[in-house]
C-alpha cells in the first residue's frame, strides 16, 4: 500500500526472504479509479496462484476502497501487509506492502523488481504520470522500471468518457508495449451478479498474465446452460 509522506519511515531499506516458497513475484498497484473490487479479487487470485505480491496503493485508492467496499486500510505499510495477509489467508511475506516513497524497495530498481506489474484499477492521473515517466511516487517509478526493463506492464484504466488526453496517453503507452485493458466487462457470459462482472475482468487479466484460472472460461471452452458458447 502506498502511504502519504509522513505516515511511514522514508527510505527505510527492506529485508525480504528470497524463498522459493512462491512460484513467481508480481507488483500490483492499486490507484484511485473506481473498481477497488477488481483489485481485491485479483489479489485473492494471485495469492491462490502462489505468487508473491509487492503491493502499492495510492492515497486516493484508500479513499475509493472505503467508499466502494467499506474497507478502511491501515495507514502503515506493515499494518496493511498484515491486514491483507489475514484477509486472504496468505503465507508470511506473500503480500508485502510498500509506502509511497519507499525508494529502497525492490520495485524501485530494475535489478530487483518483478518483471510483471499490473495497475488495477488505474486512474487517469496515474496513467498520465506513467505515460510521461514522471516517477514521482513508488507506483510511477515501479511502472517506469518495468517499461525500461521491457517487462510486462498491464494497466486497467477506468473513466468514462475518455478524453483525448486519456486516449493519447493510452496510445503512447500501447506503442511502448504496455497492455491497456480498460475495466470494461462483457455481458456475453450472462452475468447474474456483480461478482460475475468482476470475474470477467480478473479472468482476462489472469489470462494475460498466463496464470491458469477457472473463474472465467476462454471463448469456446465452455457451454452455457442455455447451450450458448461461453465467451472471452
Ligand X SMILES: Cc1cc2nc3c(=O)[nH]c(=O)nc-3n(C[C@H](O)[C@H](O)[C@H](O)COP(=O)(O)O)c2cc1C
Which residues of the shown chain bind ligand X in the complex (CB under 6 A)?
Answer: 31-34, 58, 60-61, 63-64, 67, 123-126, 158-159
The CB-of-57 to ligand X minimum distance in angstroms stands at 9
Using the minimum distance from each CB to ligand X, give the nearer residue, 34 or 75: 34
Q: Give the residue closest to ligand X by C-beta.
A: 32
Burial pattern 134-157, b for ≥16 Cβ within 10 A else e, equals: ebebbbbbbbbbbbeeebbbbbbb
Pair 117, 142: CB distance under 8 Å:
yes
Contact partners, residue 67, CB within 8 Å, separation at least 6:
none
The CB-of-158 to ligand X minimum distance in angstroms stands at 4
Placement of cell 494497466 in the chain: 155
The CB-of-200 to ligand X minimum distance in angstroms stands at 18
Using the minimum distance from each CB to ligand X, give the nearer residue, 126 or 231: 126
The CB-of-147 to ligand X minimum distance in angstroms stands at 17
The CB-of-38 to ligand X minimum distance in angstroms stands at 11
Using the minimum distance from each CB to ligand X, give the nearer residue, 30 or 211: 30
Give the rounded distance of the alpha carbon of 194 from its chain centre: 19
Using the minimum distance from each CB to ligand X, give the nearer residue, 48 or 165: 165
How far apart CA 38 and CA 30 sit, in angstroms, is 10
Contact partners, residue 89, CB within 8 Å, separation at least 6:
47
Using the minimum distance from each CB to ligand X, give the nearer residue, 119 or 205: 119
Amino acid at each position: 500500500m502506498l502511504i502519504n509522506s509522513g505516515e511511514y519511515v522514508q527510505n527505510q531499506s527492506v529485508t525480504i526472504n528470497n524463498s522459493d516458497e512462491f512460484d513467481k513475484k508480481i507488483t500490483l498497484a492499486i490507484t484511485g479509479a473506481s473498481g477497488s473490487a477488481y483489485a481485491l479479487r485479483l489479489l485473492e487470485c494471485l495469492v491462490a496462484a502462489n505468487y508473491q505480491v509487492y503491493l502499492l496503493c495510492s492515497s486516493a485508492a484508500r479513499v475509493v476502497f472505503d467508499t466502494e467496499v467499506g474497507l478502511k486500510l491501515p495507514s502503515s505499510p506493515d499494518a496493511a501487509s498484515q491486514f491483507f495477509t489475514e484477509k486472504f489467508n496468505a503465507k508470511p511475506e506473500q503480500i508485502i506492502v510498500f509506502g509511497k516513497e519507499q525508494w529502497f524497495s525492490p520495485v524501485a530498481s530494475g535489478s530487483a523488481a518483478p518483471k510483471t506489474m499490473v495497475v488495477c484499477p488505474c486512474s487517469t492521473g496515474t496513467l498520465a504520470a506513467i505515460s510521461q515517466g514522471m516517477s514521482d511516487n513508488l507506483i510511477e517509478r515501479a511502472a517506469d522500471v518495468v517499461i525500461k526493463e521491457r517487462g510486462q506492464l498491464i494497466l486497467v484504466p477506468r473513466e468514462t468518457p475518455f478524453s483525448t488526453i486519456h486516449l493519447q496517453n493510452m496510445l503512447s503507452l500501447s506503442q511502448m508495449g504496455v497492455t491497456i485493458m480498460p475495466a470494461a466487462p462483457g455481458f456475453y457470459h450472462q452475468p447474474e451478479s456483480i461478482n460475475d462482472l468482476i470475474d470477467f475482468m480478473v479472468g482476462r487479466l489472469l489470462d494475460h498474465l498466463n496464470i491458469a484460472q477457472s473463474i472465467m472460461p476462454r471463448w469456446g471452452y465452455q457451454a452455457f446452460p442455455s447451450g450458448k458458447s461461453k465467451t472471452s
